[in-house]
Amino acid sequence: MQVDVDARHKFTLGPAGGRTRVAGHDSIYMAQPSAPSSGTIVSLRGVSKTFESGTVALSNFDFSVRAGEFVSLLGPSGCGKSTALRIVSGLGEASAGTVEWPGGTAQIGFVFQEPTLMPWANVAANVRLPFTLGRTDESSSAAAVSQAMARVGLAEFADAYPRELSGGMKMRASIARALVTEPQLLLMDEPFAALDEITRFRLNNDLLTVWQELRRTVIFVTHSVFESVYLSQRIVVMTPRPGRVFAEIAIDAPYPRDERFRTSVDYAGYCRHVADALAKAMGGAA
């Protein structure tokens, strides 16, 4: 059975109102190819990245995100996810192609896989860092710092030092630091990969709550099918290196999503569908 996932179509799972079932496949429905839409916050066109070592990390990578969207980049280790995120953030440069910001360059918050907190500073000082670096004095940033800590459930830990925090709490502090300036675009690079499953589930839920409250845009990088389906409105499945977009899959399940969604038949169906696309992206059978 051949499914033309390679042509950058967007798929969505049934029950498919007005959608076409892909012949010979019981779980893939073909939706309209993603149309260029208004409200695009950033778009990468034909982006390639070759490092000095000669490694081609990305090749002809096309990717757009709408304002307010929660989108995941899903792909195997080494496929260029972090490279793509760095290019979006401006920390890295494309070797070819363009990065466009139709509404002007967005303010960005970046959450790395490691929480990267300053060990000598307490939580409040760590969260305040973007203001400190921007020479904003403590009194005028105090409210924003308190609010960011409260959003991630760390209000009572303002005076704690990183060594006193669990892995999950360190990551909460790191997210608060990224949110403190209320950036339009939050880039998250496998932020929960090192956490135990229960902590990861909690942080998934809390991240969705924050996203719904703040109505900002999130680009979330993960290699977990399950995590990407749980969180995202749309999943961009990447090929192995050199990374390019293999398929885009819409996860049409409503928010708020919670443990009921995580144990639902719909969730399992989406996961199977996404796992199937990822397997094809890897060049294998599902």
Query: Distances from the Cα of 200 to the Cαs of 171, 208, 236, in angstroms?
Result: 10, 12, 21
Binding partner of residue 55 among Mg ion, ligand ADP, none, CB cut-off 5 to 8 Å per kind: ligand ADP
**Sign, Cα dihedral of 272, 189, 220, 53:** negative
Residue 266: what residue type? Answer: D
Q: Is 149 or 221 the residue whose CB approaches Mg ion more closely? A: 221
Q: Does 107 bind ligand ADP (CB under 6 A)?
A: no
Tokens of 189: 């690079």
Closer residue to Mg ion, CB minimum distance, 144 or 186: 186
**Pairing relationship of beta strands 70-74 and 96-100 according to DSSP bridges:** unpaired
* Residue 51 interacts with which of ligand ADP, Mg ion, none, CB < 5 to 8 Å by class: ligand ADP
**Residue 168 contact, options ligand ADP, Mg ion, none, Cβ 5-8 Å cut-off depending on partner type:** none
Which residue lies nearer to ligand ADP by CB, 81 or 244? 81
Least distance between ligand ADP and beta carbon 81 (Å): 3
Write down the least CB distance from residue 83 to Mg ion, Å: 8
Q: How far is the CB of 92 from ligand ADP (least distance, A)?
A: 8
Question: Cβ distance 5 to 286 under 8 Å?
Answer: no
**Shortest Å, Cβ 222 to ligand ADP:** 10
- Geometric angle at alpha carbon 236, from 261 and 3, rounded to 5°: 95
Give the footprint of Mg ion on this chain (CB under 5 A).
82
Q: Rounded to an integer, what distance in angstroms lies between the CA atom of residue 276 and that of residue 272?
A: 6
Closest CA to 65 of 95, 103, 115, 32: 103
Candidate segments 79-87, 142-150, 169-177, 246-254, binder of ligand ADP by CB under 6 A: 79-87
- Looking at 6-14, 73-81, 133-141, 274-282, which segment touches ligand ADP (CB under 6 A)? 73-81
Count of residues engaged in binding ligand ADP, rule: CB under 6 A: 13
Report the partner that residue 244 touches, choosing among Mg ion, ligand ADP, none (CB closer than 5 to 8 A by kind). none
Q: Which of 253, 252, 237, 267 is nearest to 3 (CA)?
A: 237
What is the rounded CA–CA span in Å between residue 105 and residue 107?
A: 7
Chain positions contacting ligand ADP, by CB under 6 A: 51, 53, 55, 57, 75, 77-83, 241
